[in-house]
């Protein structure tokens, strides 16, 4: 990779031209245009950019989005968090890999292409399997994966050179390898079972792919005659049409109403079949009539019960949800709902319909196409889970891995699910996907092998037919963390990046995906696939509803990017953290304003940068010869760095964003720039001016680095414009790479530069300025009016601090003079305020002051203090508080009360003087 090729790009155009024309408003589009292509082209995203052989490793595999999908808010949210972590770790010198890729998404993709064919008037089956699959690949080539373009827009720093697709040949080989190994161990088997069948998609679905929805329906009470008697037994059902396949009636063995009936024979109406009455604990005597019709071929519970009682399975509904021959001549070929109607009519004619009542129950629907699932008995492939499950449970019990963030409630949810795990239906009747590596001989003998040749060798014949089924899409997803890194070969990538560091995901796929990755990872690599699982919150619409395609209530992240910029959107998303939030565009707007603030702060620094350059070394110097605001900003910078690092270590994105926002806006812009302005904007090019400029630029440069993981575009754009030697700002692991803030060292927090004294002193200055501004505002003094500020500060240290900042105080309060004494002496016609530490401030307002107004203002102040004092005194008045609370807390309260008392006394005095 030619590391220097891109050097000229930004450098020539931008750097060292501080007087160039910088627009007053930040234009995100301008910044978003260039940088990504350069980052990608220069290989900055690839771990190879890191030249330090001993660098620690950080890796993430992306939850592969569906190849059919386009970017939605959920992606944008997860990608932002993954990118923040990746960029942060990269700047910390980690060998960093964020591996991108896509999922072949069996059902979705097959549906998309089938629909496309339909428009051309072609049916899937007319085309045939081979041609169809070809067509899917063509579709993928042409219109699949638009999400990868969108991810580039997001600024996602994924290593595109390692991009994977679950249907790639190497990943498909891994799928077959795993399948064969599991089969050989007896963990995969073929069996005849009742499964969830989607009559529309014509495939089986796992339990996790069906959704249960409440449905307003009817409960039909049907009368069945008992053979050799005139008795009738009434059963209740929501699906009358299935009675055609009934092979028993069941009652609870303890239900005295039916004791005599057990063992009797029922004459099943409409069919003339004879079926037994059996006793089974499963039956709830309280529900319905206490007698249940049993249809083993079309209901999961009945299926189980049928096995227990050795009942026949009569299949009356086929894979298209139409009635079969076995349903009888009157019904064959009818749709299941038509058949239902007809059964009910016939029962009514026979006088066997007791009643129909309204009833709400839950119905299973296909998650993809929303068709009502038909439980059918069919031959499928299953994966036995006990063994795999125990691997995952052991890891959790023994090592508490993976570590869920937030731990509550996800660890428990994960464990409970594993504990109740059932076998996984892994076959699907689709054409698009990994075809099951199983072949049948002409005699019907089954051979499982890695490929046709191996199968032929094992079977001793090449007259083989491959099983037509494909594997559940989640089967290949479960292998993702190691299949993408080269397993089963012991590749460099596998050794280096596996186990991965963290998985960032939404909560709805903890079962579908997270748990299965853990099980498969442990089974085949012997190691966990990732250390941590960070579960993000969900973005809801403004009414608290989930965003979904069908509801049309989704907000398109790309629209938000267009309107407010990528960086502002990322900041909004990062601040979401782990809680569900309602989408609020105003939030993005405020971060857009923040981006503009950054832009303008940098603009100010650059417009006043002549003769100066960024010099990180200048920020290491400490000592009492530094001005207060310089010591203070260093302290704030280092504290901020510490907090941001701590927050990111705990995945507390929300905290990190808040900290950065307030540091940059409040500390850096509102105070530091204002305090250093005089020195920086001085006319004469003195060493003092140069130093101030250097210091200002250097603080800004550090701030940009801190912000970069969250706001990659604006920070890169501005960083490139800062004067000075860029190579020196790069992390040592990336020496030689073309300069970029992406590879600059993330600031270290230097404890020695956290200066509590400076923070205390600065706070005194800020307090004083705020009090005077308050007076100006409340007394309606025009901004242009020059005032006199009189300060009485009995505390020596405070007086020294304020005296040293006297020029600053004048500018910030727009005062003609600031006079600081140990005792306040001010004319009667003054507005006054009291400060912490017994200091007072007065602004003489001869002729301007309204004494009534001033008295009111002071009284309001007093009331506030008294309310607080009352609370604190009550606390202190409680002997048990003094006795039991920690001493420090009691002392704190005492100090606070003393301070309030002093201020109250001063206010009283002031009020007295006003009379």
Partner RNA sequence: AGGCACGUACGUCAAUGGUAGACGGCUUCCCUUACAAGGAAGAGGUUGGGGGUUCGAGUCCCUCCGUGCCUACCA
- Window 486 to 525, contacts with RNA (CB under 7 A): 507-508, 511
Contact 513, 477 (CB under 8 A): yes
Extract the tokens encoding 627.
């001005």
Other C-beta atoms within 10 Å of 690: how many?
A: 18
Looking only at residues 835 through 874 of this chain, which bind RNA when binding is defined by CB under 7 A?
A: 860, 868
- Walk across the sheet containing 830-834 and list its strands: 815-821, 787-792, 840-844, 830-834
When binding is defined by CB under 7 A, the residue of 11, 429, 553, 600 that contacts RNA is 600
Q: Which position among 3, 160, 440, 665 is part of the footprint of RNA (CB under 7 A)?
A: 665
Quote the least distance from Cβ 457 to RNA, whole Å: 41
Using rule CB under 7 A, residue 286 touches RNA: yes
Q: Give the C-alpha distances (Å, rounded to integers) separating 858 from 125, 291, 864.
A: 87, 82, 10
**CA 619-623-624 angle, 5° bins:** 130
Rule CB under 7 A: choose which of 70, 231, 875, 904 binds RNA.
875
Rounded Cα distance, 251 and 248, in Å: 10
Interface stretch with RNA, choices 46-54, 91-99, 193-201, 292-300 (CB under 7 A): 292-300
Compose the 750-769 pattern: x for residues touching RNA by CB under 7 A, - for all others.
Answer: --------------------
Residue selected from 617, 681, 800, 908 as contacting RNA according to rule CB under 7 A: 681
451 binds RNA (CB under 7 A): no
Is the backbone peptide bond immediately before 409 cis, with ω within 30 degrees of 0?
A: yes
Residues numbered 334-373 forming contacts with RNA, rule: CB under 7 A: 361-362
Residue 282 in the binding site for RNA (CB under 7 A): yes
How, if at all, do strands 188-198 and 374-383 pair? antiparallel
482 binds RNA (CB under 7 A): no
Among positions 9, 15, 18, 26, the unique one binding RNA when judged by CB under 7 A: 26
By beta-carbon proximity to RNA, the closer residue of 323 and 703 is: 703
Can you tell me which of 95, 293, 336, 689 binds RNA, judged by CB under 7 A?
Answer: 293
Q: CA-to-CA distance for 137 and 143, rounded, in angstroms?
A: 10
Which H helix or E strand runs over 764? helix 756-778
877 contacts RNA (rule: CB under 7 A): no
Binding segment for RNA (CB under 7 A), chosen from 115-123, 405-413, 741-749, 907-915, is 405-413
Site for RNA in 526-545 (CB under 7 A): 537, 540, 542, 544
Q: Does 59 bind RNA (CB under 7 A)?
A: no
Q: Exposure string (b/e) for 295-313, b if CB count within 10 Å is 16 or more? A: bbbbbebbbebbeebebeb
For RNA, the closer of residues 299 and 469 by Cβ is: 299
Positions 6 through 25 that interact with RNA (CB under 7 A): 24-25
Q: Which of 162, 528, 636, 776 binds RNA (CB under 7 A)?
A: 776
Closer residue to RNA in complex, CB, 681/763: 681
CA distances from 177 to 289, 476, 832 (A): 53, 11, 82
The yes or no reply on residue 550 touching RNA (CB under 7 A) is no
Among 116, 163, 531, 670, binds RNA (CB under 7 A): 670
Burial of 29 (0-12, 13-18, 19+ CB in 10 A): exposed
Query: What residues between 121 and 180 interact with RNA by CB under 7 A?
Result: none
Nearer to RNA, 725 or 859 (CB): 859
Beta bridge mates, 362? 214
Rounded least distance, CB 692 to RNA, Å? 14
Distance CA 628, CA 152 (A): 44
In the window 308-327, what residues touch RNA (CB under 7 A)? none
Q: Choose between 238 and 313: whose C-beta lies nearer to RNA.
A: 238
Q: In angstroms, give the least distance from the CB of 486 to RNA.
A: 33
By C-beta, is 127 or 581 nearer to RNA? 581
SS3 for 139-184 is: HHHHHCCHHHHHHHHHCCCCCHHHCEECCCHHHHHHHHHHHHHHHH
- To RNA, the closest distance from the beta carbon of 562 in angstroms equals 12
Residue 360 CB, nearest approach to RNA (Å):
9
As measured in angstroms, the least distance from the Cβ of 724 to RNA is 20
Q: Is 628 exposed, middle or buried (CB count within 10 Å of its CB: 0-12, 13-18, 19+)?
A: buried
- Pick the piece of the chain touching RNA (CB under 7 A) from 147-155, 206-214, 312-320, 688-696: 206-214
Among 372, 486, 896, 914, indicate the residue that binds RNA (CB under 7 A). Answer: 896
Give the whole-angstrom CA distance, residue 405 versus residue 536.
9
Q: Is 420 in the site for RNA (CB under 7 A)?
A: yes
User: Hey, is 535 helix, strand or coil?
Assistant: strand
Indicate the helix (H) or strand (E) that contains 440.
Answer: strand 438-441
Closer to RNA by CB, 237 or 569: give it. 237
The two structure tokens encoding residue 43: 């290989």
| Residue among 75, 368, 570, 597 that touches RNA (CB under 7 A) | 597
- CB nearer to RNA: pick between 209 and 493: 209
**Residue with Cβ nearer RNA (8 or 362):** 362
* Residue 804 binds to RNA (criterion: CB under 7 A): no
Q: Work out whether 687 is an interface residue with RNA (CB under 7 A).
A: no
> Pick from 872, 890, 874: which is nearest to 882 by CA?
890
Q: Which CB, 423 or 527, lies closer to RNA? A: 423
**Alpha helices (runs of H) in 530-613, residue ranges in sequence order:** 557-564, 566-574, 585-607
Biggest CA-to-CA distance, the chain: 118
Residue 871: CB minimum distance to RNA, A:
7
Does the protein bind RNA through residue 551 (CB under 7 A)?
no
Which residue number, 194 or 448, has a Cβ lying nearer to RNA?
194
Residue 397 Cβ, how far from RNA at the closest point, in Å?
A: 20
Rounded to a whole number of angstroms, the minimum distance from the CB of residue 69 to RNA is 18
Contacting RNA within 554-593 (CB under 7 A)? 575, 577, 579-582, 584, 586-587, 589-590, 592-593
As to burial, measured by CB atoms within 10 angstroms (0-12 exposed, 13-18 middle, 19+ buried), residue 79 is buried
- Give least dist CB 471 to RNA, A: 21
| Site for RNA, residues 638 to 657, rule: CB under 7 A | 654-655
Other C-beta atoms lying within 10 Å of the C-beta of residue 846: 10
Interface segment toward RNA; rule CB under 7 A; list 282-290, 349-357, 466-474, 752-760:
282-290
CA dist., res. 839 & res. 902, Å (int): 10
Measured from the CB of residue 169, what is the shortest distance to RNA in angstroms? 33
Member of 290, 433, 557, 709 binding RNA (CB under 7 A): 290
Radius of gyration of the chain (CA): 37
Question: Which residue(s) pair with 103 in the sheet?
Answer: 66
H helix runs in 479-584, sequence order: 480-483, 492-497, 516-525, 557-564, 566-574
SS3 575: coil
Q: What's the rounded Cα separation, in Å, for the pair 750 and 754?
A: 7
| Binding to RNA, residues 207-266 (CB under 7 A) | 207-208, 212, 235-239
Q: Does 603 participate in binding RNA (rule CB under 7 A)?
A: yes
Both tokens assigned to 528: 């966990």
Nearest to 541 by CA among 504, 496, 587, 585: 585
Q: List all residues 6 or more positions away from 716 whose beta carbon is below 8 Å from its beta carbon.
A: 31, 35, 708, 740, 741, 742
Identify which of 752, 811, 762 has the alpha carbon closest to the alpha carbon of residue 783: 811
Give me the least distance between CB of 507 and RNA, in Å please.
7
Q: Can you tell me which residue has the tokens 């105003």? A: 586
According to DSSP, the β-strands at 188-198 and 203-205 are antiparallel
């Amino acid at each position: 990779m030619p590391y220097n090729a891109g050097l000229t790009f930004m450098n020539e155009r931008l750097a060292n031209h501080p007087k160039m024309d910088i627009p007053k408003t930040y234009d995100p589009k301008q910044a978003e245009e260039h940088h990504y292509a350069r980052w990608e082209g220069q290989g900055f995203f690839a771990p190879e950019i890191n030249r330090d052989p001993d660098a620690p490793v950080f890796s993430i595999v992306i939850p592969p989005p569906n190849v059919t999908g386009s970017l939605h808010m959920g992606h944008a949210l997860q990608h932002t968090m993954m990118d923040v972590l990746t960029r942060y770790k990269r700047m910390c010198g980690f060998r960093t890999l964020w591996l991108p890729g896509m999922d072949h998404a069996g059902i979705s993709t097959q549906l998309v292409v089938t629909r496309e064919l339909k428009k051309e008037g072609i049916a899937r089956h007319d085309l045939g399997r081979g041609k169809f699959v070809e067509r899917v690949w063509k579709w993928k080539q042409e219109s699949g994966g638009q999400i990868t373009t969108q991810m580039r827009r997001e600024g996602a720093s994924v290593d595109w050179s390692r991009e994977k697709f679950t249907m790639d040949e190497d990943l498909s080989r891994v799928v077959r390898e795993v399948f064969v190994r599991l089969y050989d161990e007896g963990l995969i088997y073929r069996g005849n079972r009742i499964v969830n069948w989607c009559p529309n998609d014509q495939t089986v679905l796992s339990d996790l792919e069906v959704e249960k929805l409440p449905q307003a329906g009817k409960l039909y009470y049907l009368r069945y005659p008992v053979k050799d008697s005139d008795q009738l037994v009434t059963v209740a059902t929501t699906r009358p049409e299935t009675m055609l396949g009934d092979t028993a009636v069941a009652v609870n063995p303890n239900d005295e109403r039916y004791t005599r009936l057990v063992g009797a024979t029922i004459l099943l109406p409409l069919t003339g079949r004879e079926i037994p009455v059996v006793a089974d604990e499963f039956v709830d005597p309280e529900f319905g009539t206490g007698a249940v019709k049993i249809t083993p071929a079309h209901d999961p519970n009945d299926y189980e019960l049928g096995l227990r009682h050795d009942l026949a399975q009569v299949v009356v509904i086929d894979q298209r949800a139409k009635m079969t021959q076995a349903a009888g001549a009157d019904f064959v070929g009818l749709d299941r709902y038509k058949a239902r109607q007809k059964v009910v009519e016939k029962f009514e004619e026979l006088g066997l319909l007791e009643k129909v009542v309204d009833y709400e129950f839950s119905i299973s629907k296909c998650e993809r196409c929303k068709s009502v699932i038909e439980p059918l008995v069919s031959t499928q492939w299953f994966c036995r889970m006990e063994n795999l499950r125990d691997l995952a449970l052991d890891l959790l019990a023994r090592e508490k891995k993976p570590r869920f963030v937030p731990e509550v409630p996800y660890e428990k949810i994960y464990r409970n699910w594993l504990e109740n795990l059932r076998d996984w239906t892994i076959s699907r009747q689709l054409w698009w996907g990994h075809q099951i590596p199983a072949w049948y001989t002409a005699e019907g003998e089954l051979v499982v092998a890695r490929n046709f040749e191996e199968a032929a060798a094992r079977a001793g014949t090449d007259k083989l037919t491959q099983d037509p089924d494909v594997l559940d899409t989640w089967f290949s997803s479960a292998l993702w963390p190691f299949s993408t890194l080269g397993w089963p070969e012991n590749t460099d990538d596998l050794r280096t990046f596996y186990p991965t560091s963290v998985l960032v995901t939404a909560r709805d796929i903890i079962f579908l995906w997270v748990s299965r990755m853990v099980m498969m990872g442990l089974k085949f690599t012997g190691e966990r696939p990732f250390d941590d699982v960070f579960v993000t919150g969900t973005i809801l619409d403004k009414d608290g509803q989930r965003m979904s395609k069908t509801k049309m209530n989704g907000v398109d992240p790309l629209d938000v990017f267009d309107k407010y910029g990528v960086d502002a959107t990322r900041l909004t998303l990062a601040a979401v953290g782990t809680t569900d939030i309602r989408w609020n565009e105003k939030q993005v707007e405020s971060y857009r304003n923040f981006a503009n603030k950054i832009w303008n702060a940098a603009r100010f620094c650059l417009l006043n940068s002549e003769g100066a350059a960024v010099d990180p070394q200048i920020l290491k110097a400490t000592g009492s010869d530094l001005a207060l605001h310089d010591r203070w900003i260093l302290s704030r910078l280092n504290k901020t760095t510490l907090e941001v690092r701590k927050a990111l270590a705990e995945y507390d994105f929300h905290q990190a964003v808040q900290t950065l926002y307030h540091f940059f806006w409040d500390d850096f812009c509102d105070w530091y720039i204002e305090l250093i302005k005089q020195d920086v904007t001085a006319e004469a090019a003195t060493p003092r001016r140069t130093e101030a400029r250097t210091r200002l630029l250097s603080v800004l440069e550090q701030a940009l680095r801190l912000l970069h993981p969250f706001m990659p575009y604006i920070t890169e754009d501005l960083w490139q414009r800062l004067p000075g030697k860029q190579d020196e700002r790069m992390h040592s692991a990336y020496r030689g790479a073309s300069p970029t803030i992406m590879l600059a060292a993330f600031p270290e927090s230097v404890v020695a530069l956290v200066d509590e004294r400076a923070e205390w002193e600065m706070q005194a200055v800020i307090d004083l300025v705020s009090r005077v501004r308050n007076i100006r505002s409340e007394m309606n003094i025009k901004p242009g009016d020059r005032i006199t500020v009189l300060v009485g500060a009995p505390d020596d240290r405070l007086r020294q601090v304020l005296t040293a900042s006297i020029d600053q105080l004048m500018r910030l309060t727009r005062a003609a003079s600031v006079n600081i004494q140990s005792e306040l002496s001010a004319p009667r016609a003054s507005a006054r305020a009291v400060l912490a530490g017994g200091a007072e401030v007065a602004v003489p307002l001869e002729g301007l002051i309204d004494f009534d107004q001033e008295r009111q203002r002071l009284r309001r102040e007093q009331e506030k203090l008294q309310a607080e004092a009352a609370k604190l005194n009550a606390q202190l008045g409680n002997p048990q508080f003094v006795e039991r609370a920690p001493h420090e807390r009691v002392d704190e309260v005492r100090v606070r009360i003393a301070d309030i008392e002093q201020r109250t006394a001063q206010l009283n005095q002031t009020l007295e003087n006003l009379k």
